[in-house]
């Protein structure tokens, strides 16, 4: 892309365009090839105190290879992680992403997962926790090519609003040109469970601690296999 995107561009509809303009044009995406049969693990951490953070990753996962990607977007006034993945025959893409935001932060994860060949699997688990006036967005496109039979794609997207003035966006998009595939996606936006908060209080747990336990449990699914990132996320939640 050479021209500055606008909010009319699908992949930028929730973005802070003014912030993007300040760093335009963007550097080329980082390119990663996972060779056939290999298993590679990567993490993307955005923890800038302020400013703009944009990470773009183009990945090719060759036949029978696996990429496990963990993303923690908790920095920058505007933060964006864009991942474009192309899967070979029998390849696997496992992604756990967490977006954390408070004050006026705007953070987003944008993925395109291309099932270009048969028998590939993709699992994306995204958890977002937002407070104050923060915005958190996940835009996830799954494209299954003609002939990519036995594709198996799952997207689980959940957002937790700690304040009614925060905004969560979830935009799953499926584009399927094969007829023997499994594609499942679910998106929810909710608040902390008041019954659980009272239950914890009735056992002696103060409100701050109760909220921390519940939010930590909420993000746990996405970072179960990335203890370092999970620790950072928990420290942020307890701040």
Sites of contact with other proteins (CB under 8 A): 193-196, 198-207, 209, 213-214, 216-218, 220-221
In the complex with other proteins, the residue whose CB is nearer, 187 or 212, is 212
Closest approach of other proteins to the CB of residue 194, in Å: 7
In the complex with other proteins, the residue whose CB is nearer, 6 or 193, is 193
Closest approach of other proteins to the CB of residue 213, in Å: 5
Closest approach of other proteins to the CB of residue 218, in Å: 7
Closest approach of other proteins to the CB of residue 14, in Å: 27
In the complex with other proteins, the residue whose CB is nearer, 35 or 207, is 207
The answer to whether 191 and 161 have CB atoms below 8 angstroms apart is yes
Cα 146 from Cα 141, distance rounded (Å): 16
**What are 176's strand-pairing partners?**
144
| 3-state class (DSSP) for residue 112 | strand
Closest approach of other proteins to the CB of residue 216, in Å: 8
Closest approach of other proteins to the CB of residue 44, in Å: 24
In the complex with other proteins, the residue whose CB is nearer, 113 or 200, is 200
In the complex with other proteins, the residue whose CB is nearer, 32 or 213, is 213
In the complex with other proteins, the residue whose CB is nearer, 177 or 198, is 198
Which residues, including other chains, have CB under 8 Å from residue 69's CB and lie 6 or more apart? 41, 42, 43, 44, 57, 59, 83, 93, 94, 95, 96
**DSSP E strands: which ranges in the chain?**
30-34, 39-46, 52-61, 66-73, 78-87, 92-101, 106-115, 121-130, 135-144, 152-161, 167-176, 182-190
Sign of the CA dihedral running 42, 47, 48, 52:
positive
The label of the residue with tokens 């963007």 reads: 26
């Amino acid at each position: 892309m050479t021209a500055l995107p606008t909010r009319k561009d699908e992949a930028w509809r929730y973005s802070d365009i003014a912030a993007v303009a300040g760093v335009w044009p963007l550097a080329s995406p980082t390119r990663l090839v996972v060779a056939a049969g290999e298993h590679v693990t990567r993490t993307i951490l955005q923890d800038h105190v302020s400013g703009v953070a944009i990470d773009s990753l183009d990945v090719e996962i060759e036949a029978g290879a696996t990429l496990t990607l963990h993303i923690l977007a908790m920095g920058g006034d505007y933060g964006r992680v864009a991942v474009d993945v192309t899967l070979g025959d029998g390849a696997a893409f496992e992604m756990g992403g967490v977006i954390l935001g408070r004050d006026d932060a705007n953070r987003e994860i944008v993925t395109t997962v291309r099932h270009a060949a048969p028998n590939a699997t993709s699992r994306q688990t995204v958890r977002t926790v937002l407070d104050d006036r923060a915005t958190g967005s996940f835009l996830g496109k799954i494209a299954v090519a003609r002939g990519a039979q036995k594709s198996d794609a799952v997207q689980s997207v959940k957002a937790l609003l700690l304040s009614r003035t925060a905004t969560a966006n979830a935009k799953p998009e499926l584009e399927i040109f094969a007829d023997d595939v499994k594609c499942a996606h679910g998106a929810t936006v909710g608040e902390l469970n008041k019954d659980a908060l009272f239950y914890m209080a009735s056992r002696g747990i103060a409100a701050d601690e109760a909220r921390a336990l519940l939010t930590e449990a909420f993000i746990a699914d996405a970072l179960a296999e990335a203890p370092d990132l999970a620790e950072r996320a928990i420290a942020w939640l307890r701040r």
